[in-house]
Amino acid sequence: MKLHEYQSRDLLSSFGVPVPKGEVTDNPTNALEIAQDLGGRVVVKAQVLMGGRGKAGGVKLFNSAQEAADFTKELIGKRLVSPQNPTGMVVEKVLISELIDIEKEFYIAVLLDRAEQKDVIMISARGGMDIEEVAEKDPHAIVKLHVDPKWGLSDYEIRDAIKQAKIDARAEKQLVSLIKSLYKAYKENDCTLVEINPCALTPDGRVIAADAKVAIDDNALFRHPNFAEVSSESAEDPIEAEAAKQGIAYVKLDGEIGVIGNGAGLVMLTLDEVARAGSKAANFLDVGGGAQSERVKECVQLVLMNEKVKALLINIFGGITRGDEVAKGVVQAIQELNVKIPIVVRVEGTNADQAKQILSGANLIPADSVQEAAEKVVESLKL
């Protein structure tokens, strides 16, 4: 789960990382007040979960509160597109933060180096908006410090790495403490990434995190109930957010066939068969083992939240999951949600005969094999 910048900086600040003063808002009037309170010299930053906001026109510096408010008005509701994210994301909130005078920009990140099986701290004196280019053309400009899982991180190692990265000596002491704070935040929150770019050195010699990016390991979220609130705000897709809330394994894809199945393997197979039949799945959805009719109904509802879905394929192989329960759920969903699009259903295994009987009353297209189901659902698009 990625956190927004405003959430990331709050988290890091609570670990002692210096961040600029600032506040988040979703309306221009409020933005004016915030900018005035900050003295008018501010940065307005789009809060979208994508990299390269600066280059996409989502970050701008201002000398007056009014201009900052005007820009906020322009930005909210706008879709930002960057090379990292060609489809783009719509801006809902902006962060108004105090403008920092920047003399130098560093890059600092903490993440897992899977090949080395160790956490790694990455440090570069060439931070800023072109770090991707630096990484590609001049990788030696990024110094890597691996953390020994047994001994942890020592001050002298951090100091060495900072020197090796040829970072301005004025920043050294503050950076050692900043990196220790970052690493502590990374460990204690089960992060997969903590990144500061740029980490600013001001003309008067202060080190400040001018941008912050934090991602948390989804599989560790149960250990951090405090992020529950954050997670709905920071979901990249509203349907995936709803699925996460309901505990449904759902991944949005870009096709037009909604897919529901039980068992990740069977769902993957179904996606492949849809592709082979000449269309594309709109999602991955695993109803899980032993799903009851109510659950199946929720899943149908979730898949139909995606407006691109033109037909639905339900593929159940009954084991622990009983076919008749699934069938009941599907029939209920069609009635209660007044579903009009074609639905192809294939049920095999436990209680399949009862399932077929329940389904035969409803307006559905039955299929006996996955291949047949995929062909029929793609065919139904042409009707």
Would you tell me which residues interact with Mn ion (CB under 5 A)? 197, 211
| Min dist. Cβ of residue 16 to ligand GDP (A) | 20
CA distance 352 to 324: 7
Q: Choose the one of ligand GDP, Mn ion, none that binds residue 61, judging by a C-beta under 5 to 8 angstroms depending on kind.
A: ligand GDP
Name residues whose C-beta falls within 8 Å of residue 376's C-beta, 6 or more positions apart in sequence.
Answer: 344, 365, 367
Q: Which is nearer to ligand GDP, 132 or 353 (CB)?
A: 132
Please give the Cα distance from 375 to 383 (Å, whole number).
Answer: 13
2 binds, among ligand GDP, Mn ion, none (CB under 5 to 8 A by kind): none
Site residues (vs ligand GDP, CB under 6 A): 20, 43, 45, 51-54, 59, 61, 99-100, 102, 128-129, 197-198, 210-211
Catalytic-residue membership of 107: yes
CA proximity to 246, closest of 199, 203, 311, 294: 294
Amino acid identity at 329: G
SS3 292: coil
Cβ(199)–Cβ(178) below 8 Å: yes
> Is 6 an active-site residue?
no
Residue nearest to ligand GDP (CB): 54
Which residue out of 105, 195, 298, 375 is catalytically annotated?
Answer: 195
Of the listed 5, 6, 105, 107, which one is catalytic?
Answer: 107
User: What CA–CA distance (Å, rounded) separates 136 from 134?
Assistant: 5
Closest approach of ligand GDP to the CB of residue 8, in Å: 11
What is the distance between the alpha carbons of residues 37 and 296, in angstroms, rounded to a whole number? Answer: 51
CB of 241 to ligand GDP, least distance (A): 22
The Cα 250–Cα 241 span in angstroms is 9
CB nearer ligand GDP, residue 85 or residue 354? 85
Q: Which is nearer to ligand GDP, 46 or 158 (CB)?
A: 46
Least distance (Å) between residue 27 CB and ligand GDP: 21
* Partner that binds at residue 52, options Mn ion, ligand GDP, none, CB closer than 5 to 8 Å by kind: ligand GDP
Nearest to 345 by CA among 245, 263, 259: 259
By DSSP bridging, strand 94-98 and strand 22-25 are antiparallel
Q: Which residue is nearest to Mn ion (CB)?
A: 211
The 3-class secondary structure across 11-48, one letter per residue, is: HHHCCCCCCCCEEEECCHHHHHHHHHHCCCCEEEEECC
Min dist CB 9 to ligand GDP, Å, is 10
Query: Judged by CB, which is closer to Mn ion: 165, or 199?
Result: 199
- Cite the active site residues: 107, 195
